[in-house]
Structure 1
Amino acid sequence: MRRSHRVRQVINYVNLSTPLGLLIARIGGARTHRGERGLVYAHGYRIPFPVAGAFTVGNVILTKHREGYLTGCLLDHESRHATQYAFCVGLPMLVLYVLASAVSYAVCGHPASWNLFERMAGLGDGGYPLVHPWWRRRRRRSHST
Protein backbone atom coordinates (compact mmCIF):
# COMPACT_ATOMS: atom_id res chain seq x y z
CA MET A 1 0.00 0.00 0.00
CA ARG A 2 1.29 3.44 -0.87
CA ARG A 3 2.21 5.72 1.99
CA SER A 4 -0.49 8.25 1.04
CA HIS A 5 -3.13 5.51 1.21
CA ARG A 6 -1.88 4.42 4.64
CA VAL A 7 -1.97 8.03 5.91
CA ARG A 8 -5.52 8.44 4.58
CA GLN A 9 -6.51 5.17 6.22
CA VAL A 10 -5.18 6.25 9.63
CA ILE A 11 -6.72 9.74 9.43
CA ASN A 12 -10.14 8.32 8.50
CA TYR A 13 -10.05 5.96 11.48
CA VAL A 14 -9.04 8.77 13.83
CA ASN A 15 -11.68 11.20 12.52
CA LEU A 16 -14.27 8.40 12.98
CA SER A 17 -15.51 8.44 9.39
CA THR A 18 -14.31 4.88 8.66
CA PRO A 19 -15.87 3.45 11.85
CA LEU A 20 -19.13 5.15 10.83
CA GLY A 21 -18.83 3.66 7.34
CA LEU A 22 -18.33 0.20 8.86
CA LEU A 23 -21.39 0.72 11.07
CA ILE A 24 -23.49 1.79 8.07
CA ALA A 25 -22.28 -1.27 6.15
CA ARG A 26 -23.29 -3.53 9.03
CA ILE A 27 -26.72 -1.93 9.42
CA GLY A 28 -27.21 -2.17 5.65
CA GLY A 29 -26.35 -5.88 5.61
CA ALA A 30 -23.26 -5.47 3.43
CA ARG A 31 -20.36 -7.93 3.39
CA THR A 32 -17.04 -6.18 3.95
CA HIS A 33 -13.55 -7.10 2.87
CA ARG A 34 -10.25 -5.31 2.37
CA GLY A 35 -9.82 -3.75 -1.03
CA GLU A 36 -7.15 -1.86 -2.88
CA ARG A 37 -5.60 1.40 -1.68
CA GLY A 38 -6.37 0.75 1.98
CA LEU A 39 -10.11 0.85 1.29
CA VAL A 40 -12.82 -1.43 2.62
CA TYR A 41 -15.35 -2.70 0.09
CA ALA A 42 -18.89 -3.29 1.36
CA HIS A 43 -20.92 -5.26 -1.21
CA GLY A 44 -24.60 -6.13 -0.94
CA TYR A 45 -25.74 -2.95 0.85
CA ARG A 46 -29.53 -3.32 1.18
CA ILE A 47 -30.83 0.09 2.26
CA PRO A 48 -32.26 2.00 -0.74
CA PHE A 49 -30.67 5.30 0.34
CA PRO A 50 -28.67 6.98 -1.02
CA VAL A 51 -29.64 6.32 -4.61
CA ALA A 52 -26.22 5.65 -6.13
CA GLY A 53 -24.24 2.80 -7.60
CA ALA A 54 -21.73 3.27 -4.78
CA PHE A 55 -21.02 5.75 -2.01
CA THR A 56 -18.17 6.30 0.37
CA VAL A 57 -18.00 7.00 4.11
CA GLY A 58 -14.43 7.34 5.33
CA ASN A 59 -12.43 4.51 3.77
CA VAL A 60 -15.51 2.34 3.27
CA ILE A 61 -17.06 2.09 -0.19
CA LEU A 62 -20.61 0.76 -0.02
CA THR A 63 -22.54 -0.67 -2.96
CA LYS A 64 -25.61 -2.80 -3.51
CA HIS A 65 -23.76 -4.58 -6.31
CA ARG A 66 -21.77 -7.81 -6.17
CA GLU A 67 -18.03 -8.14 -5.88
CA GLY A 68 -16.20 -6.96 -8.97
CA TYR A 69 -18.31 -3.79 -9.34
CA LEU A 70 -15.75 -1.48 -7.73
CA THR A 71 -13.12 -1.22 -10.45
CA GLY A 72 -11.57 1.25 -12.85
CA CYS A 73 -12.84 4.82 -12.98
CA LEU A 74 -15.54 4.21 -10.39
CA LEU A 75 -12.96 2.96 -7.89
CA ASP A 76 -10.79 6.01 -8.66
CA HIS A 77 -13.80 8.27 -8.04
CA GLU A 78 -14.74 6.66 -4.73
CA SER A 79 -11.10 6.61 -3.62
CA ARG A 80 -11.02 10.39 -4.12
CA HIS A 81 -14.06 10.69 -1.84
CA ALA A 82 -12.14 8.75 0.83
CA THR A 83 -9.34 11.30 0.49
CA GLN A 84 -11.89 14.12 0.86
CA TYR A 85 -12.97 12.66 4.21
CA ALA A 86 -9.36 12.55 5.36
CA PHE A 87 -8.04 15.88 4.17
CA CYS A 88 -11.10 18.08 3.87
CA VAL A 89 -13.54 17.71 6.69
CA GLY A 90 -13.97 14.24 8.24
CA LEU A 91 -17.47 13.52 9.57
CA PRO A 92 -18.86 17.01 8.82
CA MET A 93 -18.44 16.04 5.17
CA LEU A 94 -21.78 14.21 5.39
CA VAL A 95 -23.63 17.46 6.14
CA LEU A 96 -21.53 19.47 3.69
CA TYR A 97 -22.12 16.87 0.99
CA VAL A 98 -25.90 17.08 1.46
CA LEU A 99 -25.71 20.89 1.29
CA ALA A 100 -23.56 20.69 -1.85
CA SER A 101 -26.11 18.32 -3.40
CA ALA A 102 -28.92 20.77 -2.59
CA VAL A 103 -26.99 23.64 -4.18
CA SER A 104 -26.30 21.51 -7.26
CA TYR A 105 -29.97 20.62 -7.55
CA ALA A 106 -30.95 24.29 -7.28
CA VAL A 107 -28.36 25.30 -9.90
CA CYS A 108 -29.07 22.66 -12.53
CA GLY A 109 -31.72 20.20 -11.36
CA HIS A 110 -29.21 17.38 -10.73
CA PRO A 111 -27.76 16.62 -7.27
CA ALA A 112 -24.25 15.79 -8.51
CA SER A 113 -23.46 17.97 -11.54
CA TRP A 114 -22.52 21.08 -9.55
CA ASN A 115 -21.76 19.35 -6.25
CA LEU A 116 -18.25 20.50 -5.32
CA PHE A 117 -17.32 17.11 -3.83
CA GLU A 118 -18.46 15.19 -6.91
CA ARG A 119 -16.67 17.55 -9.26
CA MET A 120 -13.43 17.25 -7.26
CA ALA A 121 -13.77 13.45 -7.29
CA GLY A 122 -14.20 13.40 -11.08
CA LEU A 123 -17.79 13.74 -12.19
CA GLY A 124 -17.46 11.51 -15.23
CA ASP A 125 -15.55 8.83 -13.30
CA GLY A 126 -18.53 8.56 -10.96
CA GLY A 127 -20.90 8.17 -13.89
CA TYR A 128 -22.53 11.57 -13.42
CA PRO A 129 -23.55 13.90 -16.25
CA LEU A 130 -22.51 17.52 -16.48
CA VAL A 131 -25.80 19.39 -16.58
CA HIS A 132 -25.55 23.09 -17.37
CA PRO A 133 -26.92 25.62 -14.87
CA TRP A 134 -30.43 26.81 -15.62
CA TRP A 135 -29.19 30.29 -16.56
CA ARG A 136 -26.82 28.93 -19.24
CA ARG A 137 -29.28 26.67 -21.00
CA ARG A 138 -30.40 27.77 -24.37
CA ARG A 139 -34.08 28.16 -24.77
CA ARG A 140 -35.63 26.25 -27.59
CA ARG A 141 -37.31 28.39 -30.14
CA SER A 142 -40.80 27.40 -31.03
CA HIS A 143 -41.41 27.20 -34.73
CA SER A 144 -44.85 28.31 -35.69
CA THR A 145 -46.07 27.60 -39.15
Structure 2
Amino acid sequence: MTGWQRLRMAVNLLNLSTPLGILLARLTRTQLQPGPDGLVFATGYRPLLPTAGAFTVGNVVFYRANRCFIDAQPRLLGHEARHCTQYACCLGLPFLPLYGLGALWSLWRTGEPGSRNPFERQAGLDAGGYQRHPTIARFRPTIDRFRGTETEVVR
Protein backbone atom coordinates (compact mmCIF):
# COMPACT_ATOMS: atom_id res chain seq x y z
CA MET A 1 0.00 0.00 0.00
CA THR A 2 1.34 3.42 -0.92
CA GLY A 3 1.58 6.38 1.43
CA TRP A 4 -1.32 8.06 -0.37
CA GLN A 5 -3.52 4.96 0.04
CA ARG A 6 -2.68 4.83 3.77
CA LEU A 7 -3.53 8.51 4.09
CA ARG A 8 -6.82 8.00 2.20
CA MET A 9 -7.70 5.09 4.49
CA ALA A 10 -6.93 7.14 7.63
CA VAL A 11 -8.84 10.21 6.42
CA ASN A 12 -11.89 8.11 5.53
CA LEU A 13 -11.81 6.51 8.98
CA LEU A 14 -11.57 9.88 10.70
CA ASN A 15 -14.24 11.56 8.57
CA LEU A 16 -16.62 8.68 9.43
CA SER A 17 -17.34 7.67 5.84
CA THR A 18 -15.69 4.23 6.18
CA PRO A 19 -17.41 3.51 9.52
CA LEU A 20 -20.72 4.44 7.83
CA GLY A 21 -19.90 1.99 5.01
CA ILE A 22 -19.16 -0.78 7.51
CA LEU A 23 -22.39 -0.01 9.38
CA LEU A 24 -24.34 -0.15 6.10
CA ALA A 25 -22.75 -3.51 5.29
CA ARG A 26 -23.66 -4.87 8.73
CA LEU A 27 -27.24 -3.59 8.54
CA THR A 28 -27.74 -5.14 5.09
CA ARG A 29 -25.95 -8.37 6.09
CA THR A 30 -23.43 -7.89 3.31
CA GLN A 31 -20.23 -9.92 3.62
CA LEU A 32 -17.10 -7.85 4.32
CA GLN A 33 -13.67 -8.91 3.01
CA PRO A 34 -10.34 -7.09 3.02
CA GLY A 35 -9.38 -5.82 -0.41
CA PRO A 36 -6.22 -4.32 -1.88
CA ASP A 37 -4.87 -0.84 -1.14
CA GLY A 38 -6.77 -0.36 2.13
CA LEU A 39 -10.17 -1.04 0.55
CA VAL A 40 -12.85 -3.23 2.09
CA PHE A 41 -15.10 -5.28 -0.20
CA ALA A 42 -18.76 -5.70 0.68
CA THR A 43 -19.95 -8.46 -1.63
CA GLY A 44 -23.42 -9.78 -2.34
CA TYR A 45 -25.23 -6.49 -1.61
CA ARG A 46 -28.97 -7.21 -1.96
CA PRO A 47 -31.11 -4.08 -1.25
CA LEU A 48 -32.73 -2.42 -4.25
CA LEU A 49 -31.19 1.01 -3.66
CA PRO A 50 -28.93 2.22 -4.97
CA THR A 51 -29.52 0.42 -8.24
CA ALA A 52 -25.86 0.44 -9.27
CA GLY A 53 -23.97 -2.84 -9.53
CA ALA A 54 -21.17 -1.25 -7.47
CA PHE A 55 -20.94 1.79 -5.23
CA THR A 56 -18.62 3.11 -2.55
CA VAL A 57 -19.03 4.49 0.97
CA GLY A 58 -15.70 5.66 2.35
CA ASN A 59 -13.21 2.86 1.71
CA VAL A 60 -15.97 0.23 1.56
CA VAL A 61 -16.73 -0.89 -1.99
CA PHE A 62 -20.14 -2.55 -2.32
CA TYR A 63 -20.81 -5.07 -5.09
CA ARG A 64 -23.92 -7.03 -5.88
CA ALA A 65 -21.70 -9.78 -7.27
CA ASN A 66 -19.15 -12.03 -5.54
CA ARG A 67 -15.40 -11.69 -5.08
CA CYS A 68 -14.61 -13.51 -8.35
CA PHE A 69 -16.42 -10.76 -10.25
CA ILE A 70 -14.42 -8.05 -8.48
CA ASP A 71 -11.10 -9.75 -9.13
CA ALA A 72 -11.97 -9.99 -12.85
CA GLN A 73 -12.84 -6.26 -13.13
CA PRO A 74 -9.69 -4.22 -12.38
CA ARG A 75 -10.95 -1.15 -14.27
CA LEU A 76 -14.16 -1.09 -12.24
CA LEU A 77 -12.17 -1.48 -9.03
CA GLY A 78 -9.99 1.47 -10.09
CA HIS A 79 -13.13 3.51 -10.72
CA GLU A 80 -14.49 2.70 -7.25
CA ALA A 81 -11.08 3.42 -5.65
CA ARG A 82 -11.23 6.91 -7.20
CA HIS A 83 -14.58 7.37 -5.43
CA CYS A 84 -12.82 6.44 -2.16
CA THR A 85 -10.38 9.26 -2.86
CA GLN A 86 -13.29 11.61 -3.54
CA TYR A 87 -14.68 10.81 -0.07
CA ALA A 88 -11.31 11.71 1.43
CA CYS A 89 -11.06 14.96 -0.56
CA CYS A 90 -14.66 16.00 0.22
CA LEU A 91 -14.06 15.36 3.93
CA GLY A 92 -16.29 12.33 4.14
CA LEU A 93 -20.02 12.50 4.59
CA PRO A 94 -20.51 15.78 2.64
CA PHE A 95 -19.60 13.67 -0.42
CA LEU A 96 -23.03 11.98 -0.28
CA PRO A 97 -25.17 15.11 -0.86
CA LEU A 98 -22.58 16.50 -3.29
CA TYR A 99 -22.72 13.28 -5.29
CA GLY A 100 -26.53 13.45 -5.19
CA LEU A 101 -26.45 16.97 -6.60
CA GLY A 102 -24.09 15.78 -9.32
CA ALA A 103 -26.49 12.95 -10.18
CA LEU A 104 -29.45 15.36 -10.30
CA TRP A 105 -27.47 17.69 -12.56
CA SER A 106 -26.66 14.83 -14.89
CA LEU A 107 -30.27 13.62 -14.85
CA TRP A 108 -31.49 17.08 -15.76
CA ARG A 109 -28.86 17.56 -18.49
CA THR A 110 -28.99 14.09 -20.07
CA GLY A 111 -31.93 12.14 -18.60
CA GLU A 112 -29.43 9.78 -16.93
CA PRO A 113 -27.71 10.21 -13.51
CA GLY A 114 -24.10 9.33 -14.38
CA SER A 115 -23.11 10.78 -17.75
CA ARG A 116 -22.70 14.42 -16.62
CA ASN A 117 -22.12 13.76 -12.92
CA PRO A 118 -18.75 15.42 -12.25
CA PHE A 119 -17.80 12.73 -9.71
CA GLU A 120 -18.45 9.91 -12.19
CA ARG A 121 -16.63 11.78 -14.95
CA GLN A 122 -13.58 12.29 -12.71
CA ALA A 123 -13.64 8.61 -11.66
CA GLY A 124 -13.81 7.52 -15.31
CA LEU A 125 -17.17 6.95 -17.00
CA ASP A 126 -16.02 4.05 -19.16
CA ALA A 127 -14.30 2.25 -16.27
CA GLY A 128 -17.50 2.59 -14.21
CA GLY A 129 -19.62 1.14 -17.02
CA TYR A 130 -21.35 4.43 -17.83
CA GLN A 131 -22.26 5.50 -21.33
CA ARG A 132 -21.85 9.07 -22.51
CA HIS A 133 -25.22 10.63 -23.29
CA PRO A 134 -25.77 13.86 -25.19
CA THR A 135 -27.10 16.85 -23.30
CA ILE A 136 -30.69 17.93 -23.69
CA ALA A 137 -31.09 21.41 -25.21
CA ARG A 138 -33.48 22.84 -22.63
CA PHE A 139 -32.93 26.56 -23.23
CA ARG A 140 -32.75 26.73 -27.03
CA PRO A 141 -36.38 27.80 -27.73
CA THR A 142 -36.19 30.47 -24.99
CA ILE A 143 -32.93 31.86 -26.39
CA ASP A 144 -34.36 31.89 -29.92
CA ARG A 145 -37.48 33.76 -28.75
CA PHE A 146 -35.30 36.29 -26.95
CA ARG A 147 -33.29 36.87 -30.15
CA GLY A 148 -36.47 37.11 -32.22
CA THR A 149 -35.76 33.97 -34.22
CA GLU A 150 -38.11 31.05 -33.78
CA THR A 151 -36.84 27.55 -34.31
CA GLU A 152 -39.02 25.24 -36.26
CA VAL A 153 -40.10 22.24 -34.20
CA VAL A 154 -39.83 19.02 -36.15
CA ARG A 155 -42.48 16.47 -35.21
The C-alpha deviation readout for 1:81-130, integer Å capped at 9, x for no partner, is: 00000012310111111111011000000100000100010011000001
- Corresponding residue number in structure 2 for 1:118: 120
1:1-145 residue pairs with structure 2 within 5 A? 1-70=1-70, 71-135=73-137
Superposed CA RMSD:
1.4
Q: Determine the C-alpha separation between the residues in 1 that align with 2:91 and 2:106.
A: 19
Q: Determine the C-alpha separation between the residues in 1 that align with 2:134 and 2:79.
A: 21
Q: Determine the C-alpha separation between the residues in 2 that align with 1:97 and 1:110.
A: 14
Number of aligned residues:
138
The letter for the 1-side match of 2:99 is Y
The C-alpha deviation readout for 1:26-53, integer Å capped at 9, x for no partner, is: 1111100110111000001111110011
The letter for the 2-side match of 1:7 is L
Q: Tell me, which stretches of 5 or more residues in structure 1 are unaligned?
A: none
The letter for the 2-side match of 1:43 is T
Identity of aligned residues (%): 47
Q: Tell me, which stretches of 5 or more residues in structure 2 are unaligned?
A: 139-153
SS in 2 for 1:95: helix
* TM-score computed with the length of structure 2 as normaliser: 0.85
The letter for the 2-side match of 1:134 is I
Q: Determine the C-alpha separation between the residues in 2 that align with 1:107 and 1:16.
A: 32
The letter for the 2-side match of 1:67 is R
TM superposition shift of 1:63: 1.2
The C-alpha deviation readout for 1:32-83, integer Å capped at 9, x for no partner, is: 0110111000001111110011000000001111112223110000000000
Q: Determine the C-alpha separation between the residues in 2 that align with 1:63 and 1:46.
A: 9
Q: Determine the C-alpha separation between the residues in 1 that align with 2:11 and 2:131.
A: 31
* TM-score computed with the length of structure 1 as normaliser: 0.91
Q: Determine the C-alpha separation between the residues in 2 that align with 1:48 and 1:59.
A: 21
